[in-house]
């Protein structure tokens, strides 16, 4: 499993489908978008605008906004 998925991250609501959730992690802007499921993974993580990871299961240490 990618180490980024094992970090504690507090997410905030983003602005639209390309940034559904946003977080600031170690000075970097992390964004989550929904993938075109089932053709793609459910989620895609981008760091500073560059997609770095796709995954289906929300990491247990990541907190989504209510």
Q: What is the 3-state secondary structure (H, E, C) of the chain?
A: CCHHHHCCEECEECCCHHHCEEEEECCEEEEEEECCCCCCCCEEEEECCEEEEEECCCCCCEECCC
Q: Domain of 10?
A: 3-57
Tell whether 23 is covered by a domain.
yes
Structural domain count, the chain? 1
Share the mean pLDDT of the chain.
Answer: 94
- Can you tell me the mean pLDDT for 30-45? 93
Q: What is the pLDDT of residue 1?
A: 67
Tell whether 50 is covered by a domain.
yes
**pTM tops 0.85:** yes
- Place 37 in a pLDDT band, splitting at 50, 70 and 90: confident
- Can you tell me the mean pLDDT for 23-49? 95
């Amino acid at each position: 499993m990618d180490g980024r998925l094992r970090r504690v991250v507090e997410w905030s609501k983003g602005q639209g489908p390309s940034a559904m959730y946003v977080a600031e992690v170690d000075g970097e802007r992390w964004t989550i978008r929904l993938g075109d499921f089932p053709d793609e993974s459910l989620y895609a993580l981008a760091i500073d605008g560059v997609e770095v990871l796709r995954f289906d299961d929300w990491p247990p240490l990541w907190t989504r906004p209510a």
